[in-house]
Each structure stands twice: as structure tokens, then as C-alpha cells.
């Protein structure tokens, strides 16, 4: 179940779980205060908690690199078991207010179980994970409150969705403004300047060569800056693929009505100067042509490797109807 990086690059007090979509990779930091970094998708929350307890006992702290659904899915269950939750200050404050836009859950149609953040993390704040001290680094771009986590003695950098061995995180120019791609690029440069020995990304394997991974990511991020329309298309493809993953596909005859009801598609269409109907049709056509999605038994499915999700696990409320935030554990 656990895929460890090659060549013993991680110390014994870290356990790494490389997970397929729709879950983010999960990191456990062992010690007197066992900590988890990112908690996967809500549809697999029970599996996440069972795995964590098998490897570390009770988890005392969960740190989220950001609030998207694939990173916070077991927060509520872990918090019910006594864990505190830490996250970037902007996202922590919005969750405390029960802002309807929390986690972009309703906007993206990605379910998130209600949770509370107990520890807001500002840039450069020290945070104790297990028996080691880490530094929270504000790395906006993929989301405004995105964090990286830096362990200076071991030179390990948890990068969230900022980059992977093959990609960079999509940016939301509609919600976060036209400067989001530039913010992502600046964040990548800041992380690259740390010259980490090990990069731990939220998706995909641990890069064998951190400097090469950063060089590739910087080139990709520059393209998002130089081509805003391309950045919009990139985000739209990622969002639709994720929707198909968590729903076990969507009937082909229902896909256009599904897309027409999505706020993210309406916003993307406006940025591209298209009608939502035109964008929905072109998005599906281009993704089928590129084999990013496939038609099977009358349903459209994401082609990328992913773990099935039980439909009942998606029945959680949108943040606008979440109960009031509970006091700190």
C-alpha cells in the first residue's frame, strides 16, 4: 500500500503514501506528536484513517497544503478522533467564517465534509510535526492560501500541488484573478531557491532529480503566464477529469447538462469569449480526441488511473450549510 521513495531518501520517521486520484499523496511524520500532511478525498476517509492508525497510532495534527477536496477529505474524521487541523491562514480564516466559497467545494462540485481549522499558519511560521520542526511557506498560485512545508535539517520540501514530477498545479484565473499564474511562478522560484534534497508532491511519484523537476515546472508555469487562455483550458480539463473520477463517470447524454450547471465552466467560458454551451461541447470533444477521457458503456470516464468512490460518500453538505465552527480540540 505504501510506496516509499527510492534509495532511502526519506528518514525513518517519515512514511509516504503515493495515492492515485482522487486522493492526494499522504505523509505521516512519526514521533511524540504524530502528524499527517494532507488527508485525501472524503470518499476514502475511512481508509485514510485506518492506514494512519496502522502506521502511527492516533494522529495528533493534520496539516493541509491547501483546501481542495483531495487534500482535506479525512479532516473531519481525524478531528473527531482528537487531531487538530492546521492550514494556511487565509483558508483557515475563511473556514472559521463558514464562507460559502470554502474549499471551492460548491464552485467545483467537489464534496468536502465540514471541518474546522485549529491552527492558522502564516508564512515562515514554525510547526512541530512528530519530533521535528518544519517551516510553513506561503506558496500562492494553485490556491491563494497554498502552503509548502520545509524541513531544513533533512532538506525535505512538501510542495502540495505546486508541482509534481510531470506537471504543475492548475490556476483559477476566474476566482483568483489574472495574477494567479504569476503568483504560482514566483512561488515555484521561491521553493527552487531552497535547493531541497527531496521534493514530496501531492500527486505522482517523488521526483528523482529535484533540480530537474523544478526546471521543468518553471518552464510549464511560465507557459501559463504567457498563455492565459491555455491556463483556462488546462484548468477546465483537470476539473472535468476529476468530476468523472469521483462519480464513476457521467452518462454521455447527461454530460452537457452537467457542465452547463457548473459555475467554473461559466466563468471559464467568459474568460475565453465563448458561450458555456460552446465550451462544454469543445471541452468534451477535445478530451475525447486526446484520450484524456473515454466513452465506455454509454458513460464518459477519466482515462487517468484513479480509485473508485462509493456514491454515498459524496453526500456531504456544501460549505454554505456547514454547522458553525467548533472550538479548538
> Which residue carries 518544519 as its cell?
134
CA distance 113 to 111: 7
How much is the pLDDT for 4? Answer: 45
How much is the pLDDT for 327? Answer: 75
DSSP state of 31: S
Superfamily (CATH H level) for 6-226? Ribonuclease Z/Hydroxyacylglutathione hydrolase-like (3.60.15.10)
Name the nearest CA neighbour of 192 among 216, 171, 225.
Answer: 216
Rounded to the nearest 5°, which phi and psi values hold at 324?
-55, 150
How much is the pLDDT for 176? Answer: 98
CB atoms within 10 A of CB 157: 27
- The answer to whether residues 291 and 231 touch, using CB atoms and an 8 Å cutoff, is no
Task: Enter the C-alpha cell of residue 271.
Answer: 474568460
Looking from the CA of 62 toward its CB, the CA atoms found within 13 Å total 32
Secondary structure (3-state) at 263: helix
Q: pLDDT digit string (tens) for 275-306?
A: 999 999 999 999 999 999 999 999 999 999 99
**CB burial of residue 173 (10 Å; 0-12, 13-18, 19+):** buried
How much is the pLDDT for 326? Answer: 83
Whole-structure pTM value: 0.96
How much is the pLDDT for 198? Answer: 98
CB atoms within 10 A of CB 188: 24
Which residues, given as ranges, of the chain have pLDDT below 50?
Answer: 1-7
Rounded to the nearest 5°, which phi and psi values hold at 136?
-80, 130
Secondary structure (3-state) at 37: strand
How much is the pLDDT for 1? Answer: 44
Q: pLDDT digit string (tens) for 158-201?
A: 999 999 998 999 999 999 999 999 999 999 999 999 999 999 99
CA distance 117 to 149: 17
CB atoms within 10 A of CB 194: 17
Amino acid at each position: 500500500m505504501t510506496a516509499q521513495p527510492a534509495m532511502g531518501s526519506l528518514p525513518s520517521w517519515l512514511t509516504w503514501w503515493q495515492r492515485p486520484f482522487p486522493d492526494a499523496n499522504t505523509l505521516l511524520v512519526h514521533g511524540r506528536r504524530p502528524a499527517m500532511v494532507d488527508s485525501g478525498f472524503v470518499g476514502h476517509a475511512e481508509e485514510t484513517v485506518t492506514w494512519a492508525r496502522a502506521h502511527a497510532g492516533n494522529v495528533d495534527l493534520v496539516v493541509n497544503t491547501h483546501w481542495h477536496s483531495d487534500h482535506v477529505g479525512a479532516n473531519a474524521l481525524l478531528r473527531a478522533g482528537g487531531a487538530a487541523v492546521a492550514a494556511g491562514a487565509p483558508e483557515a480564516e475563511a473556514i472559521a467564517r463558514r464562507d460559502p466559497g470554502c474549499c471551492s467545494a460548491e464552485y467545483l462540485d467537489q464534496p468536502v465534509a465540514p471541518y474546522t481549522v485549529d491552527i492558522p499558519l502564516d508564512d515562515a511560521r514554525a510547526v512541530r510535526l512528530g519530533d521535528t520542526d518544519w517551516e510553513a511557506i506561503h506558496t500562492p498560485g494553485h490556491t491563494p492560501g497554498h502552503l509548502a512545508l520545509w524541513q531544513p535539517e533533512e532538506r525535505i520540501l512538501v510542495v502540495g500541488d505546486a508541482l509534481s514530477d510531470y506537471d504543475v498545479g492548475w490556476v483559477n484565473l476566474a476566482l483568483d484573478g489574472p495574477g494567479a499564474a504569476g503568483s504560482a511562478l514566483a512561488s515555484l522560484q521561491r521553493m527552487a531557491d531552497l535547493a531541497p534534497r527531496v521534493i514530496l508532491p501531492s500527486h505522482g511519484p517523488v521526483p528523482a532529480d529535484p533540480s530537474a523537476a523544478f526546471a521543468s515546472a518553471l518552464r510549464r508555469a511560465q507557459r501559463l503566464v504567457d498563455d492565459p487562455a491555455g491556463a483556462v483550458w488546462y484548468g477546465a480539463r483537470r476539473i472535468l477529469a476529476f468530476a468523472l473520477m469521483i462519480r464513476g463517470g457521467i452518462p454521455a447524454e447527461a454530460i452537457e447538462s452537467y457542465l452547463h450547471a457548473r459555475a467554473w465552466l461559466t466563468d471559464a467560458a467568459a474568460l475565453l469569449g465563448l458561450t458555456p454551451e460552446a465550451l462544454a461541447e469543445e471541452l468534451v470533444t477535445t478530451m475525447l480526441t486526446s484520450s484524456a477521457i473515454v466513452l465506455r458503456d454509454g458513460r464518459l470516464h477519466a482515462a487517468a488511473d484513479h480509485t473508485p468512490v462509493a456514491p454515498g460518500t459524496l453526500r456531504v453538505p456544501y460549505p454554505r450549510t456547514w454547522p458553525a465552527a467548533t472550538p479548538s480540540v
